[in-house]
């Protein structure tokens, strides 16, 4: 396996567990190689946990693990190479190419399908525990691949929650989990709801504002929905699709976890929205064009001016 001795020019990304490099396998395939940041027991345990979790998963929207090496001085995990970076980059950082509403909806469907699979289709349910746009990779056709299973946990069928120290990323953390240390499948649903709002608005999960109460994108979105500021602007015909996704995001972000939908229900509803899609609507005359990248700008204007 070649990574040019882990040359900094080959770095694809860096996270809490380590650094990911672009490499080449002996058979010529390009791969992503995660190298542990620190050689300590907790990091090695996370690496082993990720191997155990990923060997149980076979889903087209979950990144594939090619192999691992835990006997070297620094543990290595080898994944399929996903060329187009993260969803976070395309929502918040890349200006040259804006992902269209069609692509955003498809990505939401693909991620929800993967999470539904983890929660209810695998032989042992799996909680991801760190769903965020930075952990959603995009392949050469901009199909979503859920990644980073270092914090993930499998649970028994009759187990309703995990009692664990709080892990995850601020802005995406389920408030119930943060307050109780009890992580449930609905905690993943909450995090996915934040990703939905990112896709809808183009806003970061922690907003740049001086007002402390407005820093959380999820909280500000819920307040805007409560005050009907969304519907004041998006009341035109043929925009029901956007409103439906916004309403679904609102339900995912319910502060009462029991009132949130399951990921299976979320995936079903998003799939239904796509199935009911009519032909693209021209922006001319004030109508919304579903194939444009203006969705975030429209909702952003409604929610955050």
Catalytic residue among 27, 40, 130, 148: 130
pLDDT tens sequence across 225-259: 888 877 554 444 447 888 899 999 999 999 999 99
pLDDT tens sequence across 97-148: 788 889 999 999 999 999 999 999 878 899 999 999 999 999 999 999 999 9
Task: Identify the structural domains of the chain with CATH numbers, from first to last.
Answer: 7-80 (3.30.200.20), 85-276 (1.10.510.10)
Share of the chain above pLDDT 70, in %: 79
pTM value is 0.85
| DSSP calls for the chain | -B-TTT-GGGEEEE-SSEEEEEEE-TTS-EEEEEEESS-SHHHHHHHHHHHHHHTT---TTBPPEEEEE-SSSS-EEEEE--TT-BHHHHHHT--SSPPPHHHHHHHHHHHHHHHHHHHHTSSS-EE-S---GGGEEE-TT--EEE---TT-EE--TT---EE----S-TTT--HHHHHH-EE-HHHHHHHHHHHHHHHHH---SB---S-GGG-BHHHHHHHHHHTTHHHHHS-STT-HHHHHHHHHHHHHT-SSGGGSPPHHHHHHHHHHHHHT--S---SGGG---TTSS-HHHHHHHHHH-
- The answer to whether 130 is a known catalytic residue is yes
pLDDT score at 287: 43
């Amino acid at each position: 396996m070649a990574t040019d001795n882990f040359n900094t020019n080959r770095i694809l990304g860096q996270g809490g567990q380590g650094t990911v490099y672009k490499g080449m396998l002996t058979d010529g395939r390009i791969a992503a190689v995660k190298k542990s940041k620190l050689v300590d027991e907790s990091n090695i345990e996370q690496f082993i946990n990720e191997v155990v979790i990923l060997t149980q998963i076979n889903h087209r929207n979950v990144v594939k693990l090619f192999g691992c090496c835990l006997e070297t001085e620094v543990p290595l995990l080898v994944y399929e190479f996903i060329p187009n970076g993260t969803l976070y980059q395309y929502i918040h950082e890349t200006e040259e190419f804006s992902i269209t509403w069609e692509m955003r909806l498809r990505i939401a469907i693909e991620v929800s399908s993967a999470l539904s699979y983890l929660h209810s289709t695998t032989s042992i349910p799996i909680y991801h525990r760190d769903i965020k746009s930075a952990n959603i990779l995009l392949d050469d056709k901009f199909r979503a691949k859920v990644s980073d299973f270092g914090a993930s946990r499998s649970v028994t069928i009759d187990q309703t929650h995990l009692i664990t120290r709080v892990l995850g990323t601020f802005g995406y953390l389920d408030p119930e989990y943060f307050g109780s240390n009890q992580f449930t499948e609905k905690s993943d649903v909450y995090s996915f709801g934040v990703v939905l709002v990112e896709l809808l608005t183009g806003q970061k999960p922690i907003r740049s504002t001086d007002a402390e109460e407005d820093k959380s994108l999820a909280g500000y979105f819920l307040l805007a929905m409560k005050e009907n500021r969304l519907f004041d602007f998006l009341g035109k015909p043929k925009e029901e699709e956007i409103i439906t996704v916004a309403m679904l995001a609102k339900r995912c972000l319910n502060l009462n976890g029991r009132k949130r939908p399951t990921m299976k229900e979320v995936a079903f509803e998003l799939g239904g929205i796509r199935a009911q899609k009519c032909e693209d609507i021209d922006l001319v005359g004030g109508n919304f064009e579903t194939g444009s990248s203006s969705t975030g700008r429209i909702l952003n204007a409604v929610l955050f001016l």
